[in-house]
């Protein structure tokens, strides 16, 4: 008897941009990257979506600030947001030029 179990990949949303226009968006790969990260594949998660670590840092600082106010919160968030956006744009440009 074969047991059919749904895998997390079965619940991942397809990229609407890729479905309609045929090319990746700037967020393509984030779901698969998080899946890899939860399974301990840190390097593979980075290769899948390089902005995963700046995004995690940004959301971690925001989450910590909810419970304990951070002194230089605005400056930290600004720096992390700039790093995150720059990483997303650079990785998207490189991925677009390679493909």
Q: What is the pLDDT of residues 3-47, one digit of tens each?
A: 556 566 667 777 777 778 877 788 888 888 998 998 899 999 999
**The two three-digit tokens of residue 12, written as one number:** 């991942």
**The two three-digit tokens of residue 60, written as one number:** 């971690």
Nearest to 14 by CA among 26, 1, 28, 4: 28
Q: Which residue, chain included where needed, has tokens 């309609």? A: 20
pTM of the full structure: 0.77
């Amino acid at each position: 008897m074969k047991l059919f179990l749904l895998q997390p990949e079965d619940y991942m949303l397809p990229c609407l941009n890729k479905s309609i226009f045929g090319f990746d968006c700037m967020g393509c790969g984030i779901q698969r990257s998080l899946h890899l990260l939860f399974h301990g594949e840190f390097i593979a998660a980075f290769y899948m979506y390089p902005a995963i670590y700046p995004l995690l840092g940004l959301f971690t600082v925001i989450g910590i600030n909810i419970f304990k106010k951070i002194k230089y919160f605005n400056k930290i968030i600004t720096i992390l947001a700039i790093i995150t956006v720059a990483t997303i744009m650079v990785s998207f440009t490189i991925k677009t030029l390679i493909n």
